[in-house]
Each structure stands twice: as C-alpha cells, then as structure tokens.
Chains A and B, each alone.
Chain A
Amino acid sequence: MLLLAVAMLANSLVTNAAWDWPLVWRFLFARTVLHGLLLTLEFTVFAMAIGIALGIVVAVMRMSGNPIVSGVAWAYAWFFRGTPVLVQIIFWSFVGALYPYLSLGIPFGHEFVFFNSNQLIPVYVGVVLGLGLNEAAYMSEIVRAGILSVDHGQSEAAAALGMQHRLVMRRIVLPQAMRIIIPPTGNETISMLKTTSLASVVAVTELFKAVQQIYGANYKYIPLLVVASLWYLLVTSVLSIGQHYIEKRFSRGVTVRPVGGRAR
C-alpha cells in the first residue's frame, strides 16, 4: 500500500507538467534567488549570534542573587516571548528606518557606517534585531535549563579551588551545560532559518521574497516555491549534520572512553 502510494506520488512528481522541473532547475541558481539565499543565511547567522550571546547573558542574570538583576532578565523574557516575532520585526525595521543612525550603536555597526545613506540598511538591522532579540528570550530559557542541569557540586568544587564566578561559568558550568543546550539550539537555528522568511513583509529580498518576486512576474507559483523549499531543505540538512558533530565534541568525558577502558 505504502509503496504504491509512494510510487504514485513519484510518478506525478515526474510527469505532471505543473511541477515544471526544468524551470525549477533554471531558477534554482538564478542571481536573485542566490542573493536572497545569502541574505537569509546572513539573517540566520546574525540573529542566532545575538540570540545566543544575549541569551547567555539573560540566563546568567536570571540566576543572579540580586533581585533587580534577575527581575530585569525575567521581564526581558516575558516581553519578548509574549509578543509575536512578526510584530517585533516590523517594529524594529520601522525604528531602523526612522533612526538610521541607531545602527551605529549596534554590534557590527562599523560595517554600516558606509551605507548609512541607504534606506535598506536600517531595515536589515531591524530584521536582525527583531529576530535576534526575540531569539535571546528563548535561548535564555534553554541556557538556563542547561546551567541548572549541572550539579551544584561542580561550581562548589571550582569555587573551592579559588576560581571566580565568571571563570567557573566559563570553564566548568557552561561546557557541561552545552550537552543540554546544543540540541535545542540546533533546533532553534533550523527554525530561525525558516523564520527569516518573515522578513519578506518588510521589503527585504531574502530567499522567500526573491521567489515571490519571480512568481509575481511569471505566475509559476509551484516551481518557484519548490526552488525555495529545496534551498531551505539543503541548508537545514547541512545544519543538522553540523549539529551532530558539535554534540559529539561536547559529550567529551560523558561518552568518550580513553584507550584501556574502564579501570577495575
């Protein structure tokens, strides 16, 4: 039964002219599409970079003994998780468009100094901010769960050796928390890749907007959606493979056995 269904599906994929594979192939490497893909990748990388870095900061703040510090962190997560990311993207790109010089104070800002006259750049920053700040709220929860998973005896032993709080976090707690943090972070990255398509609403020609523009002109909806999907699939596959290797790297001491095996 299942085989039959698969066979029928495959048959229709190949024979039904609506799929138009030659067209798919032609547009797969079209300049606009590749340019859109690049933008999509940039958004994913920058938004995740902000999300992870800020997420760690928020998580550590959240666990601080100081009620004001942990309160700020709590409020951050509350606000950014409680509002739709689409709203935040639109909001930040408006702020970006209204205050083009804001980009100066933002990470990797120096890159944008040259482009300050260009209206598109602040929108670009707005998208990255919208995605990144939202992501940080989710990442902070993931990081916090990771930190809490590490036995308290670990930070005590490290403190007893004279290590300061920051060093304990960096050398002892976070590396162990990584085992818990990495799998959901991989999922977040893959999810982020797809969420960047929301940037299409603020007139940024990322991958999805690029195919929209093409099928807006030639009305070949299906083949162009296939083009976008193929690229998304390819990149998520590459990300999954990368995730696998990073997970392996951070499971040192947990699954890795040195030669000679277990003593006694």
Chain B
Amino acid sequence: MIECRNVSKTFIQKGKQEVPVLEDVSIDVQANEFVVILGPGQSGKSTLLRIIAGLETPTTGTVTLDGEPVTGPGADRGLVFQGYMLFPWKTVLGNVEMGPKLCGLPSNEVRDLAMHYIDLVGLSGFEKHYPHQLSGGMKQRVGIARAYANKPRVMLLDEPFGQLDAQTRIFMEQETERIWQTDKRTVIFVTNNTDEALFLADRIVAIEGKLPGRVQRTYTVDLPRPRDLTSGTGFTFPARPGSFGTGNGVSPEPR
C-alpha cells in the first residue's frame, strides 16, 4: 500500500555543510498493517515519516501511496506529532473538528465525526477543555483523534508517547492497540522503545543507529494480540535495537 523506494535525504545546513540523514531506505507497508519503525535518537526517523507525510521531499527515491507518488502533504495521511502540536487556542472539540472542516465537510458531519473520535480515544466529557488543561497523555489522545477524524488511509505516529512517564506510556500503548482494533487502518508508528515496538508491531523496521539512517533489518512479529506487556514475550530484549535474537514469534525477514 505504501512503498518507499530507495529514499535518501540530505539536508544542507547553513549554506554548504551537507548532512546525510537517510540513505537508501526501502519499506513496503501492506494495507491495515501495523508497522513500527524502531531506531535510536537522531537516526532520521522523524525525517522519514515527514517524507512519507509529504512535508519533506526526498533527495532521491520515491514514496508511493496506493501506486500514486506522494508529492505533498494531504488529508489522506494523518500525522501525530512528537510534541503534540495541538492548537492552544482551540478546545479539544475544535482541534478534532479542524481536519473535517478544512476538508469542507458540512458542519453537522464535522461535529459527528469529531464526537465519534473523541469518544473513541476516551475523551468524552473533555470536549470543552483547552489543551493547557489536559495532561500529556490526554493531549496525545487529542492528537490521535485529530488525525483519525479525517479518516486517513494511513496513520503516521512520530514517537507519540516519548514525553510520557513509563506508566502512562504503557497505558497509552494499550489504548493505541484498542483504537487500532476498533478502527482498522494502516499504521506507521515511530519509536525508540523496543518494548513498545514488540507490543504493537506486526512488523518492525529497525533503523541503524548513526546518521545516515539505513534499514538494518526487518522483523515479523507473530505474537497473538493483545500482547502482555508485563509477563514478557519469551525472549530477552536486546541492548541494541535491531539486534533481536530469534525468539518466540519474532523472526527476521530475509534481506
């Protein structure tokens, strides 16, 4: 459904200095698949997601969505930002209504869609709250509802729970799974957390640690859902992301 073909990105900083951020990244994502891009900090994960979103253009390579090349941002892809990026001047309802409104839906449909997704992320009763009145976890729920409200073909989540404490984070991961099961969509989820990747992913794309980011290995995670976060999945978590052993249900794909 989504194909990244040999995507490379080099930023040019302060006039001349070239910073290669991504090199030769190729990823295939099937419809309704939950793909996690796993890599340490500063490995070009956000850049890759922004390229798929159409907010950046790749230096070389192409991204296609259902066969059509991605040339710019659009409502068929929903992006959840690393730093929430809610509109502080809008209420929860106003934030979630934004997408359908910009897409020109009639106002009663806009309201229904927004209320539906606010309910789905568990924020019923908080419609009139402003973002500064919400906790971090609730803010990211708004971010998720806002992206979902446009019914995008792909959801792109960029370390959505990176700023949350461990407990809220685990809780939000369970919520993410629940929301995904309720409203099935293709998901590309970026994280630097191995546990998070193992809990959520159908497939894990491990990105190499140092710039430029490359795909190190792809793993299929064939564990039954919902998975258990506390009792362990049967293998030890590797110190370096991407260097999984071949534990129960996790198997590297052939290169």
Q: Please indicate whether A and B come from the same complex rather than being unrelated chains.
A: no
